Amino acid sequence: MAFTPELAEIRFGCGLSPVLPAKDAVEDILQHLAGPDHMATAYPIDSSDSLMPYLSELNALRRKRRKAQGTDAFEELNKTYKAMRRHERANWARWFSHVVLRHSQTRDGFRERLTLFWADHFTAIGKGSLSRQMNAPYVETAIRPHLTGRFSELLVAAVTHPLMLSYLDQNRSVGPGSRAAQRAGKPIGLNENLAREVLELHTLGVDGPYSQQDVRQLAELFTGLKSNFKKGFQFRPNLAEPGHETILGKQYGGGPARLTQIHAVLHDLSVHPATAAHIARKLVVHFVEDTPDPALVDHVAARFRDTGGNLEQVYAALLEHPAAWVSELRNVKPPLDFVTSACRALAVRPEKLQEGFPQNVVSHLIKPMTMMGQKWETPLGPDGWPEEDDAWITPQSLAARIRWAMLAPQHLVDLLPPPETFVMTSLGSFATGPVQFAAGAAETQSEAIGLVLSSPAFQRR
């Protein structure tokens, strides 16, 4: 139960690479994380701020086009609209390929893993065909810049992001006693969705010390949070419920509605001991094993509490504890992590993903992931993807993993590596006897590579 460079790459990074060196020490991992984000520069993904005006324009064009149906103007509008949609779809596939390339080429794998972890913790998905385009930009804007620093900063960035406000229906929530509701002359009112998930999923956890009354009060306090493509995030006091609200026994608000009151409650929730315990457990389950060592969870939770949710310190606590380095590989990689770590092991080059773009990215990577049980950017609900190993390794999803492992690599590299070499570069000291034997005994090179990638030694971390 101790740090080894290979284990660090496999468990806390993006897997072994035949060309990139592994880390020497825990400090090395943390130093990279504290340094510049090289991969975001090399393989950019739009920020949501730069995307929203484009989506707003596209939305306006769509409306114009609909109105123009049957008139002479339609043809021209339709041409422009379709070109913009194609451009948008290519961007969507490009951003996915950039995620793959970041994982394949990084020397800072922990950053990529933390990005996925927190993007999942704060799952937000566009509900319409246009806002679906925001999924990757949301992660790039609200999650990735806040991986270190305080948990409260990450919480505020995610919860008040336009995509989250739309996903969890906050945009449609109005204080029943607000000026806007009184003027409306039609029933408009509160929606509890965001408030509930903030307490249940983002902070305290479902077993946390809150009641339905707290959900309701938090929903009232959240009124005024608003966003759209055109204007981005806004705080609109005329939508806010007047008066103060009481959440977990503490009063907020009263007087004129202000965004700072919402920030205050999010900050208080972010440092609550129940939040510390909830986040600590989630981190350990995600990175180490489904049934985590309580000593490790306690150690991470204590650091979270002691530092007021300083995430760098929280990660340090996770990485410094011997129980994080149990030598047996336990967790199963979700399909995205499986596919991206396979690309890393194969040293997939950026130019290769340009061939037949975007169709090939879709048919070689994105659609097969759906068959493995992970439709890209489409978890079933705000609780994100499952952590349990047996949720991922079912007969049908394992079948899809094996089929992909045997057939996809030949499309992803010009020349498949010799299997005897590949088994060592992709698994290192985790290459078991049967895997080495299979690599040598398979009838074809693609079966050999496929068997290595299908092995539990590669599928687990």
Partner 1 sequence: MTLTRRHFLTRSAAIGCSAAASPLLTPVSFAAAPWDTRLVVIILRGGLDALDMVQPYGDPAYAGLRNKLAGGPLKGGLDLDGFFSLHSELSRLMPLWKAGELGFVHAVSTPYRNRRSHFDGQDLLEAGSMGLGQVSDGWLNRMLQHMGGVESRTAFAIGQGEMKLLNGGAPVSEWGPDAALILSPQAELLAEQLMQGDPLFQSALAEALALSQGGVGQQDFEGDDSSMMEMTMPLPTRGKTHQKIAEYAAERLRNETRVAAFSINGWDTHSRQAAGLKAGFGRLSDCILALRDGVGPAVWNKTAVLAMTEFGRTVRENGTEGTDHGTGGAMLLAGGAIHGGKVHGRWPGLAEADLFDRRDLMPTADVRGQAAWVLQGLIGVGRETLEQEVFPGLDMGEDPGLLL
Q: Which residues bind partner 1 (CB under 8 A)?
A: 168-169, 172-174, 176, 181, 187-193, 196, 200, 206, 211-212, 332, 363-364, 367-368, 370-373, 380-381, 383, 386, 388-391, 393-400, 402-404, 406-408, 434-435, 437-438, 441-443, 447, 450-451, 454-456, 459
Q: Which CB atom, from 28 or from 169, has the smaller least distance to partner 1?
A: 169
Nearer to partner 1, 264 or 391 (CB): 391
What is the closest distance, in whole angstroms, from the C-beta atom of residue 191 to partner 1 in the complex? 5
- The residue (of 309 and 409) whose beta carbon lies closer to partner 1 is 409
Determine if the peptide bond prior to 358 is cis (ω within 30°).
yes
Residue 127: CB minimum distance to partner 1, A: 9
Of 160, 170, 167, 164, the residue nearest 233 (C-alpha): 160
Residue 123 C-beta: closest distance to partner 1, Å: 12
SS3 (DSSP) at 244: strand
Distance CA 309, CA 15 (A): 28
For the chain, the distance separating the N- and C-terminal CA atoms, rounded to the nearest angstrom, is 14
Q: Which residues of 394-415 are buried (b: 16+ CB within 10 A; e: fewer)?
A: eeebbebbeebbbebbbebeee
Smallest separation (angstroms) from partner 1 to the CB of 395: 4
Q: Give me the least distance between CB of 457 and partner 1, in Å please.
A: 8
Amino acid at 193: N
In this complex, which beta carbon is closest to partner 1, that of residue 192 or of residue 377? 192
How large is the angle between the packed helices 26-34 and 5-12, nearest 10 degrees? 50
Distance CA 274, CA 110 (A): 25
Query: Shortest gap between Cβ of 86 and partner 1 (angstroms)?
Result: 22
Output 171 or 307, the one with its CB closest to partner 1: 171
Q: Which residue, 236 or 403, is less far from partner 1 as judged by CB?
A: 403
Taking the least distance from each CB to partner 1, the nearer of 216 and 305 is: 216
Which sign does the torsion angle of CA 185, 186, 189, 193 carry?
negative
State the minimum distance, in angstroms, from the CB of residue 5 to partner 1: 24
Q: Measuring CA to CA, how many Å separate 341 from each of 106, 156, 379? A: 11, 31, 20
Q: To the nearest 10°, report the CA torsion of 370, 373, 377, 382.
A: 150
424: exposed, middle or buried (Cβ count in 10 Å: 0-12, 13-18, 19+): middle
CB of 35 to partner 1, least distance (A): 37
The C-alpha atoms of residue 453 and residue 259 are separated, in whole angstroms, by 50
CB of 219 to partner 1, least distance (A): 9
Question: 109 or 224, CB closer to partner 1?
Answer: 224
Residues 6+ apart with CB under 8 A from 202: 121, 122, 155, 158, 159
Closest CA to 210 of 150, 250, 165: 250
Return the number of the residue (100 or 318) whose C-beta is nearest partner 1. Answer: 100
Smaller CB distance to partner 1: residue 284 or 439? Answer: 439
Contacts of 43 (CB under 8 A, 6+ apart): 98, 101, 102, 105, 350
Q: Could you give the CA distance from residue 162 to residue 174 in angstroms, rounded to a whole number?
A: 16
Provide the minimum distance between the beta carbon of 277 and partner 1 in the complex, in angstroms, as a whole number: 17
